[in-house]
Structure 1
Amino acid sequence: MNQYIKMLKNKSYFLLILGQIISSFGSEMYLIALTLLVLKNNGKGSSISMLYIIMLIPSIAFGPFIGILVDRMSKKKLLITADLARGILCIVSILFIKNIVVLYIFIFMQSIFGVVFGPSLRTAMVKIVDRDKLTIANSLYAFLDNTSRLIGPSLGGILVIIIGYKSIFLINGVSFIIASIFTIFIRINEKISISEDAVIRSKYAEYLKNFKEGVSYINKSNLIKFVIIFFALAMISIGALSVLNVLIINDVLKYSSAQYGIIMGIYSGGLIFGSLIAGKIADKYNELTIMIIGVGIYGVFYIGFTSINLFFVTALFIFLNGIISSCIDISYETYLQKEVNEEMQGRVFSIDISIGNCITILSMGSIGFVSELCGVRTISLLLAIYLGILALVSYRFIKSNTLIKNKRMRWLE
């Protein structure tokens, strides 16, 4: 706990996460309100799918090229611009709250600035926090962010009834503006080697060249390439299982809606607890160890979650998987922050986010159809077993690959 308290004494880090936690609460309430609004106006599940697809498309379409801007421009300015733009867009969208088509356009534009924000935050963290403190910094941020994810949706659902959709939109917009104000007072040690105007005026061919440099950098780094591919393969299953949770709990295990709410709250509790202990685990094992073993354990726990129809056992396994999920995510992010060269981080992070969102759309979009053909329990067990096999194969690959093994892999010695 002392490590987290010391981390908060870093003024720039404190201001950064304070602003982002405020905006995260606003975003979680906004997402619930937005989902309910779209469902109310359309009444179809397909409209919700369209909403989430619209939110993900900008990352896939623009992410790799926005990464070039992140590498070449001031991270502080990008963070301020992204938060300020999202805040203004959200507030202005109140005028079109009854027109779903126009509202989708505003959501799309907000998502574009969200793509700017993501890699900017990850690269800024490296410049604000010492490298050996990154795991603690990411753990604390994840803890606070997961807490907002636990409280925000419930609060949003209640406030929609009390104060209405427009007020939620306004709260979210203001939260982004507050975050941008906090960022103004952050000190980030960065050197810009090229004028920002020149970066913005760069021709398409230059963007394409820089994007290829990012892909080439990943391809030439055996360990970074392995980690990105491993995580992407894991997300095929983990993303699909997150969709199957509701079907398993309601249709397979036959729990009530109230029990479903309790179980998902317990999962969020696991995420929060995992965020707290990730720093302690990182003191004993490196990030790659936690990722590979964590994915295998996640699969094992999910088999227990799917197979044993006792409420307290289900709750225990979902809590443990929440812990493991947090540890995997924090380790993955910390590993890339430590290992990727600073001048390439924007491009690598953006490519990584784009790959992740592509897989999320594919796995979440196809799993419903596949589960209807194979059965929910069957496909869930197969996906869980797949994670165990992936972890085992990855471990053996690391152990036998000299180019990767020589990269200070203490846990294999």
Structure 2
Amino acid sequence: MNRNLFFLWQGQVISQLGMQAYTIAMMFWIMESSGSSAAMSVIFALSTLPQIIFGPIAGVIADRHANRKIIIWCDLIRGSTVLVMAAVLFSDLFSTAQVVIFFAVTACINGGCKAFFQPAIDAWIPDLTTREKLPQVMATFGSTTQATMVLGQASRGILFTLLGAPLLLLVDAVSYFLSALSECFIKQKTQDNSDRAIAITASFKSYKDDLLTGWRYLAGTSGMVPAALFVASINFFIAPVMLLLPFYVANQISAGAEWYGFLLAALALGSIIGYSHSNHLKQVLKKRSSLMLVSLHCFAFSLFIFSQSHHVYLSSFSFFTAGILPGFV
């Protein structure tokens, strides 16, 4: 890994850790202060909406503009918004409803930054390494992201218990600023951005053409659309589980915030194992459709056991198993 890749990798790791801290602080503060799952669902929707809106064009923009600036600005904006959020909680001047509104605005801004951040990372990596080393570098970044999720989720639950939401958000904000600082040391060749010389109408047409080309490729490639709908349906039906998880931890298994982090870490660790062993299992079962069908039924059974459990260790094991099976899918 060369110098530029190291700074990019380091910034991504720090940023990922910060993201886990914000999610846990936000969810448990809302649960403890308002007890409203509806407020939490609205905030999650607001954090996802910008990614739905900007997701299709984010990749196009990342391909055509300086990725370094996009990534640094995303980290700076996220760090600033979370810092304001920490100040709001520290001040204790606002009502619960007002703080929830602040969380909603922060979630919306951070969701917009996230929509541009990851495509910019993915588009930049090939420019920072050779074609021969690209698969290894992509694998390193992918595995690091998963490992960081496990570490971040496990540790942030403990930190929330020890520090509370305001201090944890302050740590989160600092992590984003450190990530931006790390990315400032990456050297990127100056690119001749031809878009600046094109009229606004022509520039818009260029973006639109690139976007339509991507959609045509998706629609014209056999199996792509059903696969996308299949994955989307799984995400749609699993969303309520993640939304209600803090209430499950507090009310059903009578545990603290640290166990919320442990459960998410178990899910992420299971996912890593599922991904890493899926190719071997596919060769054993021969047919992908059989593997997917068996995995989905076992996944549903694991979630059923999880829903009935009142013990932290059984909940952890069933959630860990539930993480493995979508990895196969």
TM-score class, shorter-chain normalisation, is: 0.7 to 0.9
Counterparts of 1:257-336 in structure 2 under 5 Å?
A: 257=254, 265-274=265-274, 277=276, 295-305=292-302, 318-326=319-327
Which residue in 2 is equivalent to 1:157? 160
One-letter amino acid of the structure 2 residue matched with residue 146 of structure 1:
M
**Is the aligned partner of 1:44 residue 2:44?**
no
Which residue in 2 is equivalent to 1:110? 110
TM-score under structure 2 normalisation? 0.73
Write the distance in 2 (CA, Å) between the matches of 1:12 and 1:257: 46
Deviation, 1:60, is 1.9
Q: Please, which runs of 5 or more residues in structure 1 have no aligned partner?
A: 1-8, 329-413
Distance 1:191 1:324, change over 3 A: farther
One-letter amino acid of the structure 2 residue matched with residue 319 of structure 1:
F
**Is the aligned partner of 1:69 residue 2:69?**
no
Write the distance in 2 (CA, Å) between the matches of 1:157 and 1:45: 19
One-letter amino acid of the structure 2 residue matched with residue 45 of structure 1:
S
Partner-residue secondary structure (3-state), 1:43: coil
Tell me if the contact between 2:47 and 2:107 (Cα under 8 Å) persists in the aligned partners: yes
Deviates more, 1:91-100 or 1:106-115: 91-100
**Is the aligned partner of 1:243 residue 2:257?**
no
Write the distance in 2 (CA, Å) between the matches of 1:183 and 1:291: 40
**Is the aligned partner of 1:147 residue 2:146?**
no
Which residue in 2 is equivalent to 1:21? 13
Write the distance in 1 (CA, Å) between the matches of 2:318 and 2:34: 36
One-letter amino acid of the structure 2 residue matched with residue 180 of structure 1:
A
Counterparts of 1:75-224 in structure 2 under 5 Å?
A: 75-97=67-89, 98=94, 99-100=98-99, 101-129=101-129, 130-133=133-136, 136-159=139-162, 162=163, 164-187=164-187, 192-195=191-194, 197=196, 202-203=200-201, 206-207=203-204, 210-220=207-217
One-letter amino acid of the structure 1 residue matched with residue 207 of structure 2:
N
* Cα deviation 1:66-113 (Å, max 9, x = unaligned): 333212101122111111221122213334443333443233223222
Residues matched between the structures, number: 306
Deviation, 1:48, is 0.5
Deviation, 1:158, is 1.4
One-letter amino acid of the structure 2 residue matched with residue 119 of structure 1:
P
Write the distance in 1 (CA, Å) between the matches of 2:48 and 2:203: 25
Distance 1:224 1:191, change over 3 A: farther
Distance 1:53 1:86, change over 3 A: same
Deviation, 1:50, is 1.1
Distance 1:247 1:50, change over 3 A: closer
Q: Please, which runs of 5 or more residues in structure 2 have no aligned partner?
A: none
Tell me if the contact between 2:270 and 2:320 (Cα under 8 Å) persists in the aligned partners: yes
Write the distance in 2 (CA, Å) between the matches of 1:169 and 1:316: 29
Write the distance in 1 (CA, Å) between the matches of 2:2 and 2:279: 21
* Cα deviation 1:115-147 (Å, max 9, x = unaligned): 221211121233335343255224422332332
One-letter amino acid of the structure 2 residue matched with residue 147 of structure 1:
V
One-letter amino acid of the structure 1 residue matched with residue 153 of structure 2:
L
Identity of aligned residues (%): 16
Deviation, 1:176, is 0.7
Tell me if the contact between 2:78 and 2:176 (Cα under 8 Å) persists in the aligned partners: yes
Deviation, 1:172, is 1.1
TM-score under structure 1 normalisation? 0.60
Which residue in 2 is equivalent to 1:232? 229
* Cα deviation 1:127-172 (Å, max 9, x = unaligned): 335343255224422332332343244134313xx3x433222211
Deviation, 1:265, is 4.9
Partner-residue secondary structure (3-state), 1:186: coil
Write the distance in 1 (CA, Å) between the matches of 2:147 and 2:44: 24
Q: What do you get for the CA RMSD once the two structures are aligned?
A: 4.1
Deviates more, 1:228-237 or 1:24-33: 228-237
Tell me if the contact between 1:146 and 1:271 (Cα under 8 Å) persists in the aligned partners: no
Distance 1:225 1:72, change over 3 A: farther
Deviation, 1:256, is 3.9
One-letter amino acid of the structure 2 residue matched with residue 218 of structure 1:
W
Which residue in 2 is equivalent to 1:55? 47
Deviation, 1:17, is 2.5
